[in-house]
Amino acid sequence: MISENEKLYLRELAKKQKELACLPIMEERKRLWYLHNALKGERPMVVMEEGTFLEEILPPLKCQSEDGRRIERQLLQTILPEQLFQDDKVVTDEFRVEVMVDFRLFDIALKKIFASDGVGFHIDPAFEYLEGNLGLLKESVFTYDRDETLRRKAVAEEVLGDILNVRLVNTVNCWSFALTEHIVFLMGMENMFCAMKTEEDEFHMLMSRLVEEMIHFLRWQEKQDILFLNNGNDYMGSGSFCFSTELPGADFNGKVLSKHVWGHLNSQESIGISPEMYHEFIAPYYRRMADEFGLLYYGCCEPVELYWDQDISKYPNLRKVSISPWCNEEFMAERLAAGNVIYSRKPSPNFLGVKKEFDEDAFRKYIRHTAELTKGGKTEYIFRDIYKLHGNLEKLRKAVQIVREETNR
């Protein structure tokens, strides 16, 4: 249980968040995000995703209780980035409680062996070949711990509900629809590539069945009333935010369906196949999945230019596409120059995450290249996968500043 001392401390943190939320700059950022996502942006938006280096910026947690530490961590994760680097994330007067939803695809327990760093892992495939093993695919198992979710919500409301608005959110859908990732987890990447050439019919059967299961997962969430609108200060895609007046749409009657929300698809695992193979084995199933959502963010770390012209550009309701450090920037800048899809640039994390020192001149030159290429389109800069800061927190603020200076220039 949360002690009285913990409660007093958590309430002080909540008050700090509320103070930040009331600053005029937050309303200005909201205004800019709504315009940006409607393709009417006044400037590029900048996001520094702190999750991978959070342990370097968090002070030692003061709470001892499990509930207290969970609340403390979220409050600090909201407050500290604004204090450290002032990107375009919006601090609101909300405290988010995640619904405890999970699924076991095809009722198969995945076997992953993680490296000591907790990031890299090895997959122990459930099967190596599709022939003779498709019968192993049972109905997927979906779970929702409603009691624990509502208990956590009640605890948050009791501690800080008179300061912040406690809101249930569903984050499982942010990453759940990366279809090829599920295939890799089932059979390994090399086996997946081989199956496309040696077991073509079976691979199409597997992909079709996978899409059916994921659509079933969406329908199940709708029946459970755990799909929530994500058209405000909500995370979606690989690092961006969802502010939108286009969703949920004119047909919304209070019941949230998948067509009323943003969705995210990526196929990082497709990097090993040709555009022709993507078109044949991947694109038809991603198209079916894309049809389920109101607006779509596509991509993560994959070089999307390989599959852009023939397939990705044709996904319905596509609003943002991830331009990773491995993308051909010149190609994608030309394709997105019309401004109908947002160029969601992921600067290389190497400038901030490899050394303690920050080579400002090299970084400025790097950002200037993107800014000059994209001056005719719509752009956002999303910093991700910065795993180590080596104690130099100042470079976060400086990086955000440089992006703003170069894009303004």
Which DSSP category does 230 fall into? Answer: -
The dihedral formed by the CA atoms of 308, 311, 312 and 314, expressed in degrees to the nearest 10 = 120
Position 123 confidence tier, pLDDT thresholds 50, 70, 90: confident
Render 107-165 in DSSP notation, one character per residue.
G----EEE-TTSS-EEE--S-S-STTTGGG----EEEE-HHHHHHHHHHHHHHHTTTSE
Burial class (CB in 10 A: 0-12, 13-18, 19+), 80: middle
Position 120 confidence tier, pLDDT thresholds 50, 70, 90: confident
* Residue 110, pLDDT score: 87
Strand ranges inside 230-372, DSSP E: 235-236, 240-241, 262-265, 295-298, 318-323, 342-345
Residues 262, 231: contact at Cβ < 8 Å? yes
pLDDT of 249 > 90? The answer is yes
**E strand or H helix that includes residue 40:** none
* Residue 347, pLDDT score: 98
Sign of the dihedral defined by the CA atoms of residues 105, 318, 341, 282, in that order: positive
The dihedral formed by the CA atoms of 86, 88, 94 and 97, expressed in degrees to the nearest 10 = -100
Residues 1, 154: contact at Cβ < 8 Å? no
Of the chain, the percentage scoring pLDDT greater than 90 comes to 95
* Residue 113, pLDDT score: 86
Q: How far apart are the first and last CA of the chain?
A: 53
Question: What is the three-class DSSP state of 263?
Answer: strand
Opening angle at CA 68, ends 63 and 74, nearest 5? 100
Q: Quote the mean pLDDT of the chain.
A: 97
What is d(CA 286, CA 184) in angstroms, rounded to the nearest whole number? 16
pTM for the complete prediction?
A: 0.96
pLDDT of 102 > 80? The answer is yes
Residues 6+ apart with CB under 8 A from 27: none
Report the amino acid identity of residue 42.
E
Q: Report the candidate in 311, 330, 381, 406 with the shortest Cα–Cα distance to residue 49.
A: 381
* Residue 162, pLDDT score: 98
Neighbours of 190 (CB within 10 A): 12
Residues 264, 177: contact at Cβ < 8 Å? yes
Residues 271, 282: contact at Cβ < 8 Å? no
What is d(CA 163, CA 7) in angstroms, rounded to the nearest whole number? 13
pLDDT of 213 > 90? The answer is yes
What is d(CA 9, CA 159) in angstroms, rounded to the nearest whole number? 10
* Residue 118, pLDDT score: 77
Residues 252-298 pLDDT 10s: 999 999 999 999 999 999 999 999 999 999 999 999 999 999 999 99
* Residue 29, pLDDT score: 98
pLDDT of 138 > 80? The answer is yes
What is d(CA 86, CA 91) in angstroms, rounded to the nearest whole number? 10
